[in-house]
Amino acid sequence: MAVQLDKALTREKIAKRAEREIESGYYVNLGIGIPTMVANFIQEQKEIVLQSENGLLGIGRSPYEDEVDPDLINAGKETVTAAPGASYCSSAESFAMIRGEHLDLAILGGMEVAENGDLANWMIPGKMIKGMGGAMDIVHGAKKIVIIMDHVNKHGAPKILKSCTLPLTGKGVVDRIITDRAVIDVTDEGLVLVEVAEGWTVDEIKESTESDLKVSESLLNTSY
């Protein structure tokens, strides 16, 4: 099922919307790709700590050119800054934080999400990959999982499906999906459409989603 792509929001706007999921006092893990951009939109009044599975507790915003330290990277091997009060630890200690359920929220990318909350986000058949990273631990260790991704793939086919076709990262782990078109909650009664991005209609969102969608009674139209 091919759908139009010309109204898609920018990745920056998706990341900015995802920032609203973070509450003051949260310990948060940001996955590679669009999720790493969320760090650039953290509101100053929020006191939060960003955690990286490679051993940095207290990630700051992306560095300016004159601030780049090639030794200071996140789990996606992107250069980052360290926030005031940041600390460093081994990868083993970092994963102990994750597995010990000390993360309040993880914002991750996704290749496919199923209507029951299954997530596939680590492997594309036929392409060279470096492995699943820490995602399998994160989706079971964090208290809430938010997936941010494009609503459809580059061919225009839905990425929110009745069941995933790619290898799973976790079963029934996703709580909320934020795309360039909508915000959708995963509930025991199925997927619920809670926000529609500017320029899109409910019918268009349904058309570009393989799974059935229920529409929230408090549906919001938003520019993100």
Whether the CA torsion 100, 105, 121, 192 is positive or negative: it is positive
- Residue 146: pLDDT band (50, 70, 90) is very high
Dig out the tokens for 175 from the structure.
Answer: 């709580």
- Count CB neighbours of 48 within 10 A: 19
Asked if residue 5 has pLDDT above 80, the reply is no
Q: Percent of the chain scored above 70 by pLDDT? A: 94
Asked if residue 8 has pLDDT above 80, the reply is no
**For 150-160, what is the mean pLDDT?**
95
Question: What local confidence, expressed as pLDDT, does residue 7 receive?
Answer: 60
Question: What local confidence, expressed as pLDDT, does residue 130 receive?
Answer: 65
Residues 6+ apart with CB under 8 A from 121: 31, 108, 109, 110, 111, 112, 135, 147, 169
Asked if residue 51 has pLDDT above 90, the reply is yes
- Residue 4: pLDDT band (50, 70, 90) is very low
- Residue 124: pLDDT band (50, 70, 90) is confident
More confident residue, 3 or 143: 143
pLDDT tens sequence across 175-223 = 999 999 999 999 999 999 999 998 999 999 999 999 999 999 999 887 7
List, by residue number, the catalytic residues: 53
Asked if residue 129 has pLDDT above 70, the reply is no
Q: For 19-88, where are the E strands, in sequence order?
A: 27-30, 49-52, 56-59, 82-88
pLDDT tens sequence across 65-123 = 999 999 999 888 899 999 999 999 999 999 999 999 999 999 999 999 999 999 999 88
Question: What local confidence, expressed as pLDDT, does residue 3 receive?
Answer: 42
- Count CB neighbours of 37 within 10 A: 20
Structural domains in the chain, sorted by start: 11-222 (3.40.1080.10)
Q: How far apart are the first and last CA of the chain?
A: 26
Question: What local confidence, expressed as pLDDT, does residue 127 receive?
Answer: 74
